[in-house]
Structure 1
Amino acid sequence: MSDKKNPLTEYAEYLSLGAEIAIGLAAPILIGYWLDEYFETSPWILLGGCGLGIINIFVIIFRLAKRLDN
């Protein structure tokens, strides 16, 4: 039996990872921007969203590294 994966499965895994990274970074930033506009506190909540997005990226990277280590 071959150890090769279906190419579509591999593409789906990479696409899923890319979407997870993009959403994990963009969502807190966009929410922070919207909240800043709503509460007129610019740029403080946006900066918090940026920090949260960066933390999300590190969590995703560490989870990926742990998964690849197994």
Structure 2
Amino acid sequence: MLDNDGKKDKFTDQFGRSVRAMSDYFGIGLQIAASFAFFVFLGYWADTKFGTSPLLMLAGVLVGMVGMGLVLMKTVQKADRERKGRT
């Protein structure tokens, strides 16, 4: 959107940046939730198949938590690199 001087409207520019940042974080949240749920349900399925309840489900929870930590570390490192690149 252009104002009377032909400059880009600040609101539109800030809104676009906000939407891009929000979509990045939404994607990260979805990735974390999906990977955690996958390993928990995999552990639950293995428990029902092998009769080891709740050991394999707890192992799935543990693997899911480690995966979440790795995703968060990767995200923080990427954000830190981008922040250092801007300054």
Q: TM-score range with shorter-chain normalisation?
A: 0.7 to 0.9
Higher relative contact order (CA 8 A, sep 6+): 1
Which of the residues 52, 57, 71 maps onto 1:60?
A: 71
How high is the sequence identity, in percent, across the aligned residues?
26
Q: CA deviation at 1:14?
A: 1.9
Listed as ranges, the matches of 1:1-70 within 5 Å are 4=14, 6=16, 7-70=18-81
Tell me which amino acid in the other structure corresponds to 1:38.
K
Gap regions ≥5 residues in structure 2: 1-7, 82-87
Equivalent residue pairs, number: 70
Find the residue that maps to 1:41 and give its secondary structure: coil
Give TM-score, length-normalised by structure 1: 0.82
For residue 8 of structure 1, report the CA deviation from its aligned partner: 3.4
What is the root-mean-square deviation of aligned Cα atoms in Å? 2.0
